[in-house]
Structure 1
Amino acid sequence: MSDTSGAPLSGCAALVTGASSGIGAAIALALAREGAGVALVARRAERLERVAAAIRREGGTCAVLPADLSEGARARGVVEDGVRHLGRLDVVVNSAGYVARGAVEAGDPEEWQRMVDLNFTAVLNVSRAALPHLVGAAMDGRRGVADLVTISSVAGRIVRKNNSVYSATKHAVGVFSEALRQELTGRAVRVGLVEPGLTTTEMTAGDGWEPVAPGMPREAWLRADDIARAVVFMVTQPPHAAVNEIMVRPTAQEP
Structure 2
Amino acid sequence: MLSLHGKVVAITGASGGIGEATARLLAQRGAAVVLAARRRDRIDAIAQAIQEEGGRAATCVVDVTQAEDLQRLVSFTTDQYGRLDVLVNNAGIAPISPLADLDTESWSAMIDVNLRGTLNGIAAALPIFRKQGAGHLVSIVSVAGLTVSPSMAVYAATKNAVRTIHEGLRTESTDGAVRTTAISPGYVRTHLADSMTDPHVREQTRKNMDAVGIPPAAVARAVAFAIEQPGDVEIGEINVRPTVQA
TM superposition score normalised by structure 2:
0.91
Contact 2:187 2:212 in 1 (8 A): no
- Measured in 1, the distance between the counterparts of 2:237 and 2:2 equals 23
Q: What letter corresponds to residue 178 of structure 1 in structure 2?
A: E
Within the alignment, does 1:190 sit opposite 2:168 as a pair?
no
- Ranges of 4+ aligned residues in structure 1 off by more than 4 Å: 209-213
Residue 178 in structure 1 maps to residue 167 in structure 2: yes
105-114 vs 52-61, which deviates more?
A: 105-114
Within the alignment, does 1:153 sit opposite 2:142 as a pair? yes
Counterpart-to-counterpart distance in 1, 2:205 and 2:68: 35
Residue 201 of structure 2: SS of its match in structure 1? Answer: coil
> Contact between 1:216 and 1:253, CA under 8 Å: does it hold in 2?
no
Distance 1:251 1:117, change over 3 A: same
Alpha-carbon distance in 1 for matches of 2:208, 2:76: 42
Match of 2:166, SS state, is helix
| Aligned-partner Cα distance in 1 for 2:93–2:205 | 17
Q: What are the equivalent positions in structure 2 for 1:120-159 lying under 5 Å apart?
A: 120-137=115-132, 139=133, 145-159=134-148
Instruction: Tell me how far apart the structure 2 counterparts of residues 210 and 67 of structure 1 sit (CA, whole Å).
Output: 29
Deviation, structure 1 residue 201: 0.2
Give 3-state SS (helix, strand or coil) of 1:208's partner. Answer: helix
CA contact (8 A) 1:7 1:34 kept: no
Paired residues, what number?
A: 242
**Aligned twin of 1:14:** 9
Between the aligned partners of 1:69 and 1:249, the Cα distance in structure 2 is: 26
- How big is the shift at 1:48? 0.5
Provide the rounded CA distance (Å) in 2 between the counterparts of 1:69 and 1:248: 24
- Deviations along 1:194-239, one digit per CA (max 9) or x if unpaired, are 00001110113576357679x9572421110000000000001122
How do 1:74-223 and structure 2 match up within 5 A? 74-137=69-132, 139=133, 145-204=134-193, 208=201, 218-223=210-215
Segment drifting more, 155-164 vs 17-26? 155-164
1:155, 1:232 → 2: CA distance? 22
The residue identity in structure 1 corresponding to 2:14 is A
Letter in structure 1 aligned against 2:161: A
1:73 aligns with 2:73: no
TM-score (normalizing by structure 1): 0.88
Of the structure 1 ranges 69-78 and 23-32, higher mean CA displacement relative to structure 2 is found in 69-78
Greater percentage in helix:
2
> Which residue of structure 1 lines up, in the alignment, with residue 223 of structure 2?
231
| Offset of residue 17 of structure 1 | 0.4
- Distance of 1:226 and 1:50 partners within structure 2: 22
Q: Distance in 2 between matches of 1:232 and 1:103?
A: 35
Percent of matched pairs sharing the same residue: 38
| Unmatched tracts of structure 2, length 5 or more | none
Separation in structure 2 between the aligned mates of residue 118 and residue 216 of structure 1, nearest angstrom: 24
- Give 2:245's aligned residue: 253
- The answer (yes or no) to whether the contact 1:70–1:114 under 8 Å persists in 2 is no
AA of the residue aligned to 2:103:
D
Which segments of 5 or more consecutive residues in structure 1 lack a partner in the other structure? 1-5, 140-144
- Structure 1's 212 and 47: CA in aligned 2 closer, same or farther, altered over 3 A? closer
